[in-house]
Amino acid sequence: MASCLKQIKSAQFAPFLRGHVRFKGVLCVLKNAAIVLSVIRRGNGLAANRSVLTFWGVRGGIPAPGGATKQFGGNSPCVEVNCGDRIVVFDAGTGLRVLGQSLMARSPVKGDLLFSHTNFNRICGLPFFAAAFHPKNNFAFWCGHRPEEGNIQAVLTTLMTDPVFPVPIDIFNAQLSFHDFPAGTGFALDSGIEVASIAVSCGLPGTSYKVHCTGGTIGYACALTPPDDLTKLVDFVTGCDILILSFVGHDPDRLDAIAAEVAERAGIGQLIVTDHAPEATDDDLLAREEGLMNRFSASRLAREGDCMQIGEPHH
């Protein structure tokens, strides 16, 4: 750990750290230096012509840390797609805190955060996002809000307003931009990344995404209320190399059967089910995963720390 701390305190980051040591969210960079450096080492061997998918948070509802969730992880939703010179991030749960530590070692970075919806568990990591303090970083926030629902800048500003949180969003030094769009429309990001979207429901309006990036296509459709007719969802995710999927409900077996049906009908390369219930232990999830794989062999449950190349064969 001492060598890790020495690297993190190098000349590249010393000015940043000296300027913000009073913020506990930034001090976590040092306390978790081993995690940061492990991501750097892990990324060194990845193919340059493929994007890389990393899970930083896989719990639905609220975080669930502890010994019983160590294997699958306890952070709430956050998934990164590293496209080389740009990153795309799905949701900003508590996993965003750990991602932010990783990005400090990769700064300066450009990134886009795509929100499936703005319930608390998918935005609560933002105040602890260390990479947003780096003045050379650039992040765009995207959400499929309708005009009558407000806008993403207002939601995130309210989150970081006293008495909810004592430090305002304008404390961030990174270049930030905020973008609202009607769910169901598409848009292009830099570096040739294309984003398609579809309006969905999780009890409240939400957005699912399909991102075309280097090496393949990723679908992200999470916290969905299972529709009576799956056709619209199946049509949307058809062609995805990887589909990250979760449904809302109290019967995991039934929900996994629906997920497997979607993957089968859409011809998905690999299905990854996420947003595990806070009360689900590692033993519970291992048993659940076995049942899921019996339904659709190219499937698994998401694990915090999972890292895979997009477009590589999955077994």
Which pLDDT does position 253 carry in this prediction? 97
* More confident position, 13 or 51: 51
pLDDT tops 80 at residue 30: no
The per-residue pLDDT for range 54-101, each reduced to its tens digit, is: 999 999 999 999 999 999 999 999 999 999 889 999 999 999 999 999
Task: Say if residue 164's pLDDT is above 80.
Answer: yes
pLDDT given at position 49: 66
Nearest CA to 202 among 221, 181, 230?
A: 221
Local confidence band at 149 (pLDDT 50, 70, 90 cut-offs) = low
Query: Residue 46 pLDDT > 70, yes or no?
Result: no
Contacts (Cβ under 8 Å, ≥6 apart) of 104: 8, 13, 16, 29, 36, 130, 131, 134
The tens digit of pLDDT for each residue in 282-296 reads 999 999 999 999 999
Cβ atoms of residues 258 and 231 within 8 Å = no
State which amino acid sits at residue 227. Answer: P
pLDDT digits (tens, 9 = 90+) for 119-144: 999 999 999 999 999 999 999 999 99
Question: If you average pLDDT over residues 34-43, what whole number do you get?
Answer: 46
Task: Determine phi and psi for 4, rounding to 5 degrees.
Answer: -60, -45
Predicted pLDDT at 110: 97
Average pLDDT along the chain:
86
Please report where in the chains the tokens 């232990």 appear, as a residue.
Answer: 281
Q: Determine the pLDDT at residue 85.
A: 86
Check residue 190 and give its pLDDT. Answer: 84
Q: Which distant-in-sequence residues (6+ apart) come within 8 Å of 110 by Cβ? A: 85, 86, 87, 137, 138, 139, 190
Digit-coded pLDDT (tens) for 96-119: 999 999 999 999 999 999 999 999
Model pTM score: 0.86
124-to-9, 19, 129, 231, 270 alpha-carbon distances in Å? 27, 24, 10, 33, 29
Whether residue 45 has pLDDT greater than 60: no
Percent of the chain with pLDDT over 70: 82
The pLDDT assigned to 84 comes to: 86
Please state which CATH number belongs to domain 2-309.
3.60.15.10
**What is the pLDDT at residue 314?**
54
pLDDT by residue (tens digit) across 215-274?
899 999 999 999 999 999 999 999 999 999 999 999 999 999 999 999 999 999 999 999
The pLDDT confidence band at residue 50, using thresholds 50, 70 and 90, is: confident
